[in-house]
């Protein structure tokens, strides 16, 4: 008979926990979920109050027998799955399989896999939180209903194997809408005038930018307006009219949430969301460190809270003061977003003394990069503000105003360790000379610059996550699988970090928007997320919520199926004849994107790939350059005659200047 049986999700987590628990204790892994809805059918009894039909996951029969046997031979069973809704649901399924009536089966959670956290959790067992379980069931059931009811419509009208999902469809819609904005964008001309000025006292040159006339801001729309200003100030004296000196503080960013970690890992170290979450999982579950054994290096990585425990705060304080000095420490508390599930902390290192460089040899290159990012971000969040000296100068030239701003870093504070990344380009401002009012500065050079407004940028994984979070779509655990799914379904593709909709993605998005307005409505989807939160807090009944959703949704599906019953998808006809039967080939959408097919199917089964070309001849032989994609989806350029008579191939797009 075993004293304690601890059940977790993964073998890595099990191995880390084993050494923290003495005595007659056994630790086993469930290998994730052990029960789920069946794949072959809806698996929800809509006539019986939406009761889910859970079945044991195929291939887990022997594991379930083993878990049952060990549970029966244990005095106490602790379900130590992850501390979130998904983990609570796995614990509930385990309890139901092992024996829900067994009072010796209990639930424990810990936010970090350290000796103190695990031992403390074992001393404070609790019942399974059925509200959290119901919130996860509500999400699973509602998403199953949406997917299994809408996907067949796509199969009939586009092609088999497609899927629609509540969050994934909104993500595709955002990307398609952004692409349409870019395509419709009309650039607007504008001008800036920059002047290089010399302070003769210090012999320093600085730059001022045109602001306006008579102290009022003025925009320059074209060359004529720019030339008029240039003529008016051609022989003008540049007089300093105003000097404002000040001090500016820059505060650190809060500790990571799942979303901010994903965004920053994408910006700073080029990780995909999927890679970030996989590496973070390994850091959380345990890494072997000399003299400490296998330990969890970070707290739980699925969270939208920035709250930090008092113990962690005290450890950070001691480390910062010892390493940098007292003036580098500042006691900081961060407000958590009002929609956050504040069950556990923000993402932070579990041991303040384990600096990234001290344990670098124990980590893989990717683990080191992500751990360093998490460690430095957390420590910086508890450090003093950076302080800048600032100067803003107004300069007059024949009634025209120019402005110059400068700043000088006086105290680095948290920036000694970490500076938050951004999707926008930050302009660095250097310090300008110590000028005085009424002083004349000498014009060295004047530079008019023509520019054009630019369309909004395409989404990256980082900026899409940020937008989904801002709009209340999905939750920390959903961002990575959502983006992975729409990439795998080829609704979108990635080019140099940018997310671009495919033709298939546009077709599917159009069909869904025209026929399932609610599912594609951002506010409606965000409201559903709020309802899941209410269920988790015990404020709403999950089956009532599903019932309220299902009635109108089912009516909509039936209406759409009738409307589309006799509607054939309009085939896009190409100007390429079938080389087998002569019919004009049509465009179709397959697993790997758009291709040409003969409309005479099934008599004629001829298909052809679509070959993209560019209007620049091959630099080596003058042939046509084709655009192809590598296995990693990166574009490359190859001559149509390769490899027969020409060997031209390049990652870089050729231009006319290269042609010989």
Residues forming the active site: 300
Task: Give the residues across from 493 on adjacent strands.
Answer: 500
Length, in residues, of the chain: 660
Contacts of 244 (CB under 8 A, 6+ apart): 391, 392, 393
Q: For residue 8, which of 119, 114, 94, 66 has the smallest C-alpha distance? A: 94
Rounded-to-integer distance, Cα 101 and Cα 104, Å: 9
Rounded-to-integer distance, Cα 67 and Cα 29, Å: 9
Rounded-to-integer distance, Cα 87 and Cα 207, Å: 57
Rounded-to-integer distance, Cα 36 and Cα 140, Å: 9
Taking the alpha carbons of 26, 354, 31, 536 in that order, is the dihedral positive or negative? positive
Q: Is the separation of the CB atoms in 588 and 594 below 8 Å?
A: yes
Residue identified by tokens 């549970």 is 71
Q: 131 by DSSP, 3-state: which?
A: helix
Residue 145 has, within 13 A of its CA and on its CB side, a CA count of: 22
CA 50 distance to own-chain centroid: 33
Task: Give the residues across from 7 on adjacent strands.
Answer: 28, 79
Q: 461 by DSSP, 3-state: which?
A: helix
Residue 408's CB is within 10 A of a number of other CB atoms, namely 13
Q: What are the two backbone dihedrals, phi and then psi, of residue 438, each rounded to the nearest 5 degrees? A: 75, 0
């Amino acid at each position: 008979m075993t004293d304690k049986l601890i059940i977790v999700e993964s073998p890595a987590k099990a191995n880390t926990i084993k050494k923290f628990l003495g005595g007659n204790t056994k630790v086993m892994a469930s290998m994730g979920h052990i029960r789920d809805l069946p794949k072959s059918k809806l698996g929800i009894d809509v006539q019986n109050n939406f009761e889910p039909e859970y079945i044991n996951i195929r291939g887990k029969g022997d594991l379930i027998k083993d878990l049952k046997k060990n549970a029966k031979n244990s005095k106490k069973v602790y379900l130590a799955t992850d501390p979130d809704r998904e983990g609570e649901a796995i614990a509930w399924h385990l309890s139901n399989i092992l024996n829900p009536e067994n009072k010796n089966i209990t639930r424990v959670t810990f936010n970090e896999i350290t000796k103190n956290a695990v031992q403390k959790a074992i001393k404070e067992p609790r019942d399974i939180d059925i509200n959290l379980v119901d919130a996860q069931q509500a999400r699973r059931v509602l998403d199953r209903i949406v997917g299994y009811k809408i996907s067949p419509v796509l199969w009939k009208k586009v092609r088999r194997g497609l899927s629609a999902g509540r969050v994934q469809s909104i993500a595709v819609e955002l990307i398609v809408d952004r692409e349409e904005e870019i395509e419709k964008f009309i650039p607007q001309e504008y001008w800036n005038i920059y002047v290089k000025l010399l302070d003769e006292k210090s012999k320093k040159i600085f730059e001022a930018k045109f602001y306006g006339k008579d102290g009022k801001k003025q925009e320059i729309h074209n060359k004529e307006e720019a030339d008029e200003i240039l003529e008016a100030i051609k022989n003008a004296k540049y007089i300093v009219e105003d000097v404002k000196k000040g001090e500016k503080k820059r505060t650190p960013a809060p500790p990571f949430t799942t979303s901010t970690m994903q965004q920053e890992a994408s910006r700073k170290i080029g990780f995909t969301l999927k890679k970030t979450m996989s590496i973070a999982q390994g850091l959380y579950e345990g890494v072997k460190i000399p003299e400490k054994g296998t330990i969890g290096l970070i707290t739980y990585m699925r969270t939208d809270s920035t709250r930090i425990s008092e113990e962690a705060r005290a450890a950070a304080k001691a480390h910062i003061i010892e390493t940098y000095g007292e003036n580098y420490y500042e006691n900081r508390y961060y407000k958590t977003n009002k929609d956050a599930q504040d069950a556990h902390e923000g993402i932070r290192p579990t041991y303040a003394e384990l600096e990234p460089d001290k344990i670098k040899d124990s980590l893989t290159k990717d683990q080191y990069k992500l751990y360093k990012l998490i460690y430095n971000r957390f420590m910086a969040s508890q450090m003093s503000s950076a302080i800048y000296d600032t100067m803003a100068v107004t300069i007059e030239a024949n009634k025209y105003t120019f402005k110059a701003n400068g700043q000088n870093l006086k105290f680095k504070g948290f920036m000694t360790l970490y500076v938050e990344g951004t999707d926008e380009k930050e302009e660095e401002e250097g310090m300008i000379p110590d000028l005085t009012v009424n002083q004349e500065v000498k014009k060295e050079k004047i530079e008019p610059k023509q520019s054009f407004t630019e369309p909004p940028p395409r989404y990256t994984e980082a900026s899409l996550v940020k937008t989904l979070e801002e709009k209340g779509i999905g939750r920390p655990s959903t961002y990575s699988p959502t983006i992975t799914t729409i990439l795998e379904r080829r609704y979108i593709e990635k080019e140099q970090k940018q997310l671009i909709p495919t033709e298939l993605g546009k077709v599917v998005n159009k069909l869904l928007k025209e026929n399932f307005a609610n599912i594609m409505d951002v506010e409606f989807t965000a409201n559903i997320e709020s309802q899941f939160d209410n269920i988790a807090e015990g404020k709403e009944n999950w089956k009532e919520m599903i019932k309220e959703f299902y009635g109108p949704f089912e009516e909509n599906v039936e209406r759409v199926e009738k409307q589309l019953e006799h509607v054939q998808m309009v085939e896009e006809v190409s100007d390429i004849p079938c080389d087998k039967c002569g019919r004009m080939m049509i465009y179709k959408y397959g697993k790997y994107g758009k291709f040409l097919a003969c409309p005479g199917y099934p008599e004629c089964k001829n298909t052809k790939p679509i070959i993209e070309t560019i209007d620049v001849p091959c630099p080596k032989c003058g042939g046509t350059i084709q655009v192809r994609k590598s296995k990693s989806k990166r574009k490359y350029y190859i001559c149509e005659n390769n490899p027969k008579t020409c060997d031209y191939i390049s990652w870089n797009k050729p231009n006319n200047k290269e042609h010989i």
